[in-house]
Structure 1
Amino acid sequence: MDRLTLRVSPDLLRRFDAAAADQGGRSRLLRRLMEQAAQAPFPEPVRSPPAAGSGKLTLRFGQPDLALLEAEAASTGLSRTQWTVALVRRRLHDRPQLTRHEALALIEMRRELRRIGVNVNQIARALNTAVLDGRVLDLEVAQLAAFRDEIAVWIDSLGEAFQGNLAYWSARV
C-alpha cells in the first residue's frame, strides 16, 4: 500500500480525531473520504509550471537530530527550513548567509559609513575651496582624522561580522 503524508495544525488534527473516533479511527475515515472524493467528478486541475530554477528537497531526521536542528535554528532566529537552506547555500556559494537581524545590522553600518563619507566630502570640499587660517585648518584636519578612525572601526566591524558569519556556517571540526 502507498502512504500519504500531510501536515495539519494541531487543532485541526484534534477535531478530526474527535470526528474519526466513532467512524473507526483516523485511517478508516480518511480512506472513506478519499473513496468518496475519487468517485465525484472533478474539473481538470490547472497546473502552474514550477518556478524556474526551484525545486524541493525533503530531509528526514530522527527526533534527537531534529530537536538539535530546531534549537540551533531558533538560536539564530530562523526556522529549521531557513537554517538548513542557509547552511546548504553557504557550502554551495561560499558566501555569508545573513539572518534578518544581521542584514538589518549591516544596513545600519552602511548608513553610518555613508553618513561619515558625506561629512568627509563636505570637509574636503571646504578645504579645497576655502583659505583657512592655521587654527581652523587644524580643526578640520583633526575632524578628518576622527572620521578616518571611525571608518576604520566600522570597516573592522564589518570584517568581523562577515568572518563570524562564514565561520558559523563552515564545517565544524
Structure 2
Amino acid sequence: MDRITLRLSPDLARRFDAAAAGQGGRSRLLRRLMESAARAPLPAAVQAPVTPRSGKLTLRLEAADLVLLEAEASRAGLARTQWATALIRRRLHDRPQLTRPEALALIEVRRELRRIGVNVNQIARALNTAVMEGVVLEVELAQLGAFQQEIGAWVEALGEAFQGNLEYWAAGG
C-alpha cells in the first residue's frame, strides 16, 4: 500500500482533526476526500509518470536496533543513513563501499604506486641506454628489486583492504 506524507501548519492540523473526529478519523476522511478527487475526470493531457532519479526510503526500527545501528555507523565514521545506504549499495552492486577516510587512503596508495612506477621507469631507461659494469649495474638492479617488492606489498595491501571492505558489508559480516 502506498503512503502519502504531507506537512501541515499546527493550526490546519488542529482544524482538520476537529473536522475528521466526527467522520472516523484522519485517515478515513483523507481516503474519502482522495477517492472523491480521483473520480473526477482527468485533465486531457496526462503525461506518463517520470521515474525519479532518487527516492527516499524510510525505516522504522526498534529502539535497540537503532542504538546498534548508531554504534555501527559511528564505528565506520558514517551517519546512520550513509551506513544504511552503503550497505544497500554493496548488496545491490557487489562493489566496495568506501568511507571518506578509506577513499583518501586509496588516493594516497595510488599516488605512492605512481611515484614508484616513475622511479622504476627511470631505472629501466637508464639500464637500457647505458652500458654499466660491475657495482653500478648491481646497485641499479638492487634498487629495481626493492621497488618491485614495494609495489608487490602495496598491491597486496590494496587487495586485503578491498577484501576486508567487501567482507564488512557482506550479509552477516
Cα deviation for residue 5 of structure 1 reads 7.7
Cα deviation for residue 52 of structure 1 reads 5.0
Moved over 3 A (4+): 3-6, 32-35, 49-52
Change (3 A) 1:148 1:169: same
The runs of 5 or more residues in structure 1 that have no matched partner are 7-28, 36-48
* Percent identity of equivalent pairs: 65
RMSD of aligned residue pairs (Cα, Å) = 2.6
Distance in structure 1 (CA, Å) of the matches to 2:57 and 2:122: 53
Distance in structure 2 (CA, Å) of the matches to 1:113 and 1:51: 42
Q: Residues 89-168 of structure 1 correspond to what in structure 2 (within 5 A)?
A: 89-168=89-168
Letter in 2 for 1:58: T
Aligned length: 138
Q: Does residue 73 of structure 1 match 2:73?
A: yes
Map Cα deviations across residues 138-173 of structure 1 (whole Å, 9 max, x no partner): 000000000000001100100000000000000117
Match in the other structure for 1:12: none
Cα deviation for residue 96 of structure 1 reads 0.3
The TM-score, its normalising length taken from structure 1, stands at 0.72
Q: Does residue 30 of structure 1 match 2:5?
A: no
Map Cα deviations across residues 12-36 of structure 1 (whole Å, 9 max, x no partner): xxxxxxxxxxxxxxxxx8235876x
Change (3 A) 1:123 1:88: same
Change (3 A) 1:51 1:76: farther
SS class of match (1:131): coil
The runs of 5 or more residues in structure 2 that have no matched partner are 16-48
Change (3 A) 1:145 1:75: same
Distance in structure 2 (CA, Å) of the matches to 1:82 and 1:162: 19
Cα deviation for residue 62 of structure 1 reads 1.1
Distance in structure 1 (CA, Å) of the matches to 2:91 and 2:152: 30
Cα deviation for residue 53 of structure 1 reads 2.4
Change (3 A) 1:116 1:34: farther
Change (3 A) 1:80 1:50: farther
Cα deviation for residue 4 of structure 1 reads 6.5
Match in the other structure for 1:87: 87
Distance in structure 1 (CA, Å) of the matches to 2:127 and 2:14: 81
